[in-house]
């Protein structure tokens, strides 16, 4: 009935980290830290410079963009309105929000179910199926995009063409082996006794999953949501292929088409880039701690 190794490996992770944080001594500045700070600041400035350039240029006039100005004399907020209306960013933005939301819901539903089954339900072939799914992480997207494109055009399975429809942009992404893996690892750490107790109360797996497991799993659900949000929002190759009209075109592809439309109007292009980047950065800043920690721990286990 027990799964000793996995549980033991999982369980102590949280308390140990909490203890380490609590035991951190008060900071005391030492001169020896100065070179480290200097190096870190220089590195941070270099890695931030594209963002600074983007924001600064997006607020310039056309004249300022070609005159080596570091900052605009007066910020031209109107650039955002111009870009927003010129490239139909409103439509792209709406599309991106809908696509990302649907993909997140899909991933959470399918991967919670599968992760739970792989962790808790015993059925023949469980390990094999899990390993096969996990192996798909190694398959490069460059191999799958071509057959998938024919598939959504209805040339492989005769279900009609999905081009320029919402399902084409969402369904293929509604499950990933990585998130299944994340959920499975987390669910393995939930004590068996809880399930036994629920069972005595007459609850089946689905009841137990929705009433007990899911409320307990907020951290991993958060991590999965954030990872899915970023990858879905940033997806490019696939939406480029399956949206031939603007109808369901997401922001990334919209920005790409805007690159040629904007031409030499760098300030408008940069405003478009800010519009594309801003939602991700906002979500990232708000959830930064869970985000990086989720990635760090999940990355290490993967």
Partner 1 sequence: MPATTPAIRRPRVSASARREWLTGYLFVLPAALIIAVFGIFPIGYAIYMSLHRWRIRKGAFVGLDNYLSVVGDWWGALAFFGGLLLIIAAHWLWVDAFRRDDGTVALAGRLLGALVLLGSGVAVSLGWRLMTAEGDRRFLQGLTRTVYYGFGSVPVQIVLALVIATLLFQKLRGQELFRMLYFLPYVTPAVAAAAVFRNIFSPRPERPANTVLEWLGLPTQQWLFETRPMSQVLFGGLLDRLGIELSGFWAGPSLALVTVIVFGVWTYTGYNAVIFLAGLGNIPKQLYEAAAIDGATRVQQFRHITVPLLSPVTFYLTVLGFIGTFQAFTHIYVMRAPNTRDAVDTASIVIFDTFYGRNNFSLAAAQSVILFAIILILTLLQNRLIGRRVFSD
Q: What residues between 239 and 268 interact with partner 1 by CB under 8 A? A: 241, 251-253, 255-256, 259, 266
- For position 84 contacting partner 1 by CB under 8 A, the verdict is no
Q: Which of 283, 284, 254 is nearest to 269 (CA)?
A: 254
Q: Alpha helix (H) ranges present in the chain?
A: 4-10, 13-22, 34-58, 62-65, 78-86, 89-120, 126-135, 141-152, 166-170, 177-188, 192-200, 205-208, 214-216, 218-234, 237-242, 251-262, 266-286, 288-301
Q: What is the torsion angle, in degrees rounded to the nearest 10, for the CA atoms of residue 182, residue 183, residue 184 and residue 190?
A: 120
- Number of chain residues interacting with partner 1 (CB under 8 A): 109
Minimum CB separation of residue 77 from partner 1 in Å reads 19
Task: State phi, psi for 121 to the nearest 5 degrees.
Answer: -95, 135
Among 109, 194, 211, 286, binds partner 1 (CB under 8 A): 109
Q: Is 133 or 216 the residue whose CB approaches partner 1 more closely?
A: 133
CA distances from 120 to 100, 183, 195, 204 (A): 29, 11, 9, 12
Q: Which of 92, 186, 233, 248 binds partner 1 (CB under 8 A)?
A: 233
Nearest residue (CB) to partner 1, 151 versus 216? 151
Shortest Cβ 78–partner 1 spacing (Å): 20
The one among 42, 139, 197, 286 contacting partner 1 by CB under 8 A: 139
Residue 211 binds partner 1, judged by CB under 8 A: no
Q: Does 166 bind partner 1 (CB under 8 A)?
A: no
Coil, strand or helix at 98? helix
For residue 203, state whether it binds partner 1 (rule: CB under 8 A): no
**Non-local CB neighbours of 275 within 8 Å, separated by 6+ positions:** 80, 83, 84, 89, 93, 251, 255
- Examine residue 280 and tell whether it contacts partner 1 (CB under 8 A): yes
**Residues of span 13-32 touching partner 1 by CB under 8 A:** 17, 20, 24-25, 27, 29
Among 22, 31, 36, 200, indicate the residue that binds partner 1 (CB under 8 A): 36
- Judged on CB neighbours under 10 Å (0-12, 13-18, 19+), 119 is buried
Pick the stretch among 74-82, 84-92, 149-157, 189-197 that binds partner 1 (CB under 8 A). Answer: 149-157
Is residue 147 within 8 Å of 239, Cβ to Cβ?
no
Considering only residues 89 through 108, tell me which ones interact with partner 1, judged by CB under 8 A: none
Identify which range of 38-46, 75-83, 85-93, 195-203 contacts partner 1 by CB under 8 A: 38-46
- Half-sphere exposure (Cβ direction) of 234: Cα atoms closer than 13 Å: 10
Q: Is 143 in the site for partner 1 (CB under 8 A)?
A: yes
Pick the binder of partner 1 from 63, 141, 191, 263 (CB under 8 A): 141
The CA distance from 197 to 174, in Å, is 32
Piece of the chain touching partner 1 by CB under 8 A; list 79-87, 194-202, 211-219, 227-235: 227-235
Q: Tell whether residue 236 is a contact of partner 1 (CB under 8 A).
A: yes
Q: Do residues 72 and 64 lie in contact, with contact meaning Cβ atoms separated by under 8 Å?
A: yes
């Amino acid at each position: 009935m027990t799964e000793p190794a996995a549980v033991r490996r999982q369980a102590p992770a949280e308390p140990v980290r909490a203890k380490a944080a609590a035991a951190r001594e008060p900071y005391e500045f030492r001169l020896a830290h100065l070179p480290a700070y200097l190096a870190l600041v220089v590195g941070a400035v270099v890695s931030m410079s594209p963002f600074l350039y983007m924001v600064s240029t997006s607020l310039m006039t056309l004249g300022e963009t070609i005159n080596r100005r570091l900052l605009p004399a007066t910020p031209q907020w109107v650039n955002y309105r111009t870009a927003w209306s010129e490239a139909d960013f409103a439509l792209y933005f709406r599309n991106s929000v809908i696509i990302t939301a649907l993909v997140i819901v899909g991933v959470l539903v399918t991967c919670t179910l599968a992760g739970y089954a792989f962790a808790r339900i015993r059925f023949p072939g469980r390990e094999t199926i899990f390993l096969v799914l996990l192996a798909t992480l190694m398959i490069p997207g460059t191999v799958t995009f071509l057959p998938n494109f024919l598939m959504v055009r209805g040339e492989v399975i005769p279900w009609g063409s999905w081009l320029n429809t919402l399902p084409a942009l969402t369904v293929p992404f509604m499950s990933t082996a990585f998130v299944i893996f994340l959920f499975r690892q987390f669910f393995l750490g939930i004590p068996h006794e809880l399930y036994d107790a629920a069972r005595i109360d007459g609850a089946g797996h689905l009841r137990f999953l929705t009433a007990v497991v899911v409320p307990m799993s907020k951290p991993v659900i958060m991590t999965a949501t954030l990872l899915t949000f970023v990858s879905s929002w940033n997806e490019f190759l696939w939406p480029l292929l399956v949206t031939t009209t603007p109808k369901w075109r997401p922001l990334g592809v919209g920005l790409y088409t805007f690159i040629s439309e904007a031409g030499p109007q760098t300030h408008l292009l940069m405003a478009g880039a800010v519009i594309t980047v801003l939602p991700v950065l906002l979500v990232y800043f708000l959830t930064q701690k869970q985000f990086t920690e989720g990635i760090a721990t999940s990355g290490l286990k993967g």
